[in-house]
Amino acid sequence: DIQMTQSPSSLSASVGDRVTITCRASQGIRNDLGWYQQKPGKAPKRLIYTASSLQSGVPSRFSGSGSGTEFTLTINSLQPEDFATYYCLQYNSYPRTFGQGTKVEIK
Amino acid sequence: EVQLVESGGGLVQPGGSLRLSCAASGFTFSDYWMSWVRQAPGKGLEWVANINQDGSEKYYVDSVKGRFTISRDNAKKSLFLQMNSLRAEDTAVYYCARTTHFDYWGQGTLVTVSS
């Protein structure tokens, strides 16, 4: 199974900050990775697919990068509505596996 | 507008069975792989199973193999998850998701396994 190691598990940031979340895959997954945002009591929402493609309707302050085993989600100029938990997901091989999640909290 | 609506969750005793449904609308259901993903209370997301467009390919996470069965009815635009021999650790919100890179998700249905 491919393990997805996501870091940090949580972070505190202020509105306007730049935030970076990392996912490392235990083996190469090309660019078969997505990033998801989840707010309490809600379904996950896709932000990024194929590692760096921005989902239609998602603000451009969100960006993704990486390929192979190292991936990054960056949020430029954090907004109040961005406080949530973020997950990466690899869909290169079975079983599909998620990172453990990163909770972004208000400082 | 793509919509996925899950139903069928509830309280079930350990060892019991439950069948979840997911009604799809707003897209050509038969063109897409579909998935079930679950989330235990206060925990992260876990992929459960996938099914291809005509139901001929199915994949499962090891922890549910032999107990859960994913299926679909393209005429009714519906996805199903038959869950047998349920355990306490199966307690979770179950989401269905359209599996073009998991682009659309339903709102989830809660399954509680408890005596």
- pLDDT, residue A106, reads 86
- pLDDT, residue B101, reads 84
Question: Which tens digit of pLDDT belongs to each residue from A76-92?
Answer: 999 999 999 999 999 99
Q: Which residue of B has its CA nearest to A43?
A: B107
* Mean pLDDT confidence for A73-77: 96
Question: Which tens digit of pLDDT belongs to each residue from B52-110?
Answer: 999 999 999 999 999 999 999 999 999 999 999 999 999 999 999 998 789 999 999 99
Question: Which tens digit of pLDDT belongs to each residue from A20-53?
Answer: 999 999 999 999 999 999 999 999 999 999 999 9
Check if the beta carbon of residue A86 is closer than 8 Å to that of residue A4.
Answer: no
Check if the beta carbon of residue B79 is closer than 8 Å to that of residue B34.
Answer: yes
* Mean pLDDT confidence for B14-21: 98
Residue type, position B61, single letter:
V
pLDDT at A64 over 90: yes
Give the C-alpha separation, B108 to B5, whole Å: 8
Give residue A70's pLDDT band: very low, low, confident or very high (50, 70, 90). Answer: very high
* Number of other CB atoms surrounding residue B4 within 10 Å: 23
Q: How close, in Å, is residue B44 to chain A by CA atoms? A: 6
For residue B37, the chain A residues in CB contact (below 8 A) are 44
Q: Is A54 helix (H, G, I), strand (E, B) or coil?
A: strand
